[in-house]
Chains A and B, each alone.
Chain A
Amino acid sequence: MFHYIELTKVWSLLEYDKFNPLYFSSSLFLFLFLGLLFAITVFSNSRARVYILLLFSAFFFYKNSGTALYVLVLSSLLNFGVGYVLHNAKAEGMRKLYLWIGIILNLAALGYYKYTNFFLRTVADFQGKEFEALDILVPLGISFFTFKALSYLFDIYYETYTPTRNFADFLLYMAYFGNISAGPIDRAPAFIEQARNYSVTREDISRGVFLIILGLIKKNVIADYIGLNYVDRIFDDPLRYTGVENLIGIYGYALQIYCDFSGYTDMALGVSLLLGFKLMENFNYPYKAKSVAEFWRRWHMSLSAWLLEYLFTPLQMGMRNMRMLGNALALLITFILCGLWHGPSWNFVIWGGLHGLFMVVGIVTNKPRTAIIKKLNLTNSKFLGFFRILFTFHLVAFAWVFFRAHDLKIIADMYSQMVNFFKPGVFPQFLQSYQMISVLIGIGYLLHFMPEKLSAAAYKVVGKAPLIVQAFLLAFAIWFSWQFMAADIQPFIYFQF
């Protein structure tokens, strides 16, 4: 009897539960990962490694998306098949046909699972009808594995890659648990090569452990804490807060989304390094960018590289007769679609459109700006550099409001509070009452803007430590981040009353 109960408990822990998805930072994941790591290390030089990783990835997918696993398998089979015929076709016409079949199949699946309700809702809104959402379960990471599949087909079409003949390797590329839920959007050539050849150096282990620690602190300590205890409240009801609190809410969200996303990516990179995969870099201090274009070379880099290679550059080439107008149109199309890729909602479209618009203004004003800067003798000056970083950061931060707030009224309220009810005098009170939030936002931005030499030095200290010390640091980081996750939600504070 006793054994029976225990077993069912364990089994239910491993079952699909849509209210309880599996994250890297959850205790269940860390526990299972230790087992996986052990198995991979034992079978490091055999083909069994790929099959073990496939099994674990299938479980990871199932735990998050249940039986939608078949969508991933079906998509992998189709893309593998299309890739095969595309590679073997001789005539250019046939190659183009196969490429288009691949593109349409992938976008149809992505469109059905992710955008059907969005589309139907928009149509219903236009007709002024009531809308009842269809019950469509979105498979885990469909945006990510669709883009991985498309890059595989494009690379074959461009003849920059000879596709693998091994389906298991390709399936692992599509399904790998490390990057399926939040990227990076890795490319087949580098990933499949690493699936075939295992290599983990002592340096990889140090780097992996360091990244997991960093990710846990960024995600669980900074992002989740300031999100739950401050940012969410501002975005829930901005009219209850002064303009200065709304502004801090926007700065807080800019930090939260960076720490959340890049922290999760750090964990993905770290976990993968321990298993023998060097995934693509995805973040490089994005708020240090001096222009919105540079921001996109530092933020979600695997996505922006994808968009640049497979969408923007072909569009730009196709519209080059229109000169600057063609460039501007290519930018707007790319970034509106980039917004839509993030989610089936108008606010993402507006957010993407804003980024496109910023860059269009950038290219249109480039010549006069350069001339003025040259006249003022400011080219390469520190002042200009600082100003550009500050300006770019604010453009990006104010655009994040559209990403976070799902209601246009909230956005209007936030901006109206900042314009009409700023009340800077509240700031000292804010610091006093929200001490933990202030400290975390301060530390977060300090870590982001500190010279890269310092962060490299910090890594050296951890990286050179003996393995046992690194293991201890990791255990401490896990414990510490769980303390933060378990902390009570901080009480509401209103200043204006």
Chain B
Amino acid sequence: MISDKLKKAILTELKLDDFTIEDATMANQIPGWDSLNHINVITAIEKDYGLRFKAIEVLKCKNIGDLQKLIDSKQNK
């Protein structure tokens, strides 16, 4: 499940009113989340959650579900 907080962080950064984001949603399916903007979305999420990803952790994520799991695992530490 994608949390409201993550969803809000993504939508705010991409200036979207609403977009359905599920576990299997891939980054490039979300309007505006392209390769150039990718880094802005990632840093916005890091800022919202007050955490920092390792490059390899993000590279391993295949979809937004993986990203959510990564955030959860970091918060539980």
Check if A and B associate: yes
Residues on A facing B (Cβ under 8 Å): 158-160, 293, 308, 312-314, 316-318, 320, 323, 326-327, 331, 359, 362-363
Contact A293 B34 (CB under 8 A): yes
Contact check: which of B35, B42, B59 meets A293 at CB < 8 Å? B35
Contact B36 A293 (CB under 8 A): yes
Report A473 CB to chain B, min CB distance, Å.
Answer: 37
Chain A residues with CB under 8 Å of B42's CB are 317, 320
Report B4-18 CB contacts with A as 1/0, cut-off 8 Å: 000000000000000
Q: Can you list 21 A-B contacts with CB-CB less than 8 angstroms, sorted by A residue number?
A: A158-B56, A158-B59, A160-B62, A293-B34, A308-B35, A312-B35, A313-B35, A313-B38, A314-B55, A317-B39, A317-B42, A317-B55, A317-B59, A318-B55, A320-B42, A320-B43, A323-B43, A327-B39, A331-B36, A359-B36, A362-B36
In the A-B complex, the 4 residue pairs with the smallest Cβ-Cβ separation, listed nearest first, are A317-B55, A316-B39, A320-B39, A158-B60
Instruction: Indicate if B58 sits at the interface (CB-CB under 8 A).
Output: yes
User: Once the chains are docked, how many angstroms separate the CA of A159 from the CA of B58?
Assistant: 12
User: Once the chains are docked, how many angstroms separate the CA of A320 from the CA of B59?
Assistant: 14
Report B70 CB to chain A, min CB distance, Å.
Answer: 13
User: Once the chains are docked, how many angstroms separate the CA of A326 from the CA of B60?
Assistant: 21
Report A344 CB to chain B, min CB distance, Å.
Answer: 27
User: Once the chains are docked, how many angstroms separate the CA of A159 from the CA of B60?
Assistant: 7
Chain B residues with CB under 8 Å of A158's CB are 56, 59-60
Report B17 CB to chain A, min CB distance, Å.
Answer: 15
Contact A316 B60 (CB under 8 A): no
Nearest to A293 among chain B residues (CB) is: B36
Nearest to A159 among chain B residues (CB) is: B60
Report A212 CB to chain B, min CB distance, Å.
Answer: 31
User: Once the chains are docked, how many angstroms separate the CA of A313 from the CA of B42?
Assistant: 11
Other than A160-B62, A317-B59, A320-B42, give 15 A-B pairs with Cβ distance below 8 A. Answer: A158-B56, A160-B60, A293-B35, A313-B59, A314-B55, A314-B59, A316-B39, A317-B39, A317-B42, A318-B55, A320-B43, A326-B39, A327-B36, A327-B39, A363-B36
Looking at A308, A313, A323, A363, the one whose CB has the most chain B CB atoms below 10 A away is A313
User: Once the chains are docked, how many angstroms separate the CA of A313 from the CA of B28?
Assistant: 13
Chain A residues with CB under 8 Å of B55's CB are 314, 317-318
Report B33 CB to chain A, min CB distance, Å.
Answer: 13
User: Once the chains are docked, how many angstroms separate the CA of A333 from the CA of B16?
Assistant: 31
**Interface set, chain B 23-77, CB cutoff 8 A to A:** 34-36, 38-39, 42-43, 55-56, 58-60, 62
Chain B residues with CB under 8 Å of A313's CB are 35, 38, 59
Chain B residues with CB under 8 Å of A312's CB are 35
Nearest to A92 among chain B residues (CB) is: B56
Report B30 CB to chain A, min CB distance, Å.
Answer: 16
User: Once the chains are docked, how many angstroms separate the CA of A308 from the CA of B55?
Assistant: 14
Report B53 CB to chain A, min CB distance, Å.
Answer: 8
Nearest to A326 among chain B residues (CB) is: B39
Report A293 CB to chain B, min CB distance, Å.
Answer: 6
User: Once the chains are docked, how many angstroms separate the CA of A326 from the CA of B56?
Assistant: 17
Chain A residues with CB under 8 Å of B59's CB are 158, 313-314, 317
User: Once the chains are docked, how many angstroms separate the CA of A359 from the CA of B35?
Assistant: 12
User: Once the chains are docked, how many angstroms separate the CA of A363 from the CA of B38?
Assistant: 12
User: Once the chains are docked, how many angstroms separate the CA of A13 from the CA of B55?
Assistant: 52
User: Once the chains are docked, how many angstroms separate the CA of A389 from the CA of B59?
Assistant: 32
Nearest to A296 among chain B residues (CB) is: B35
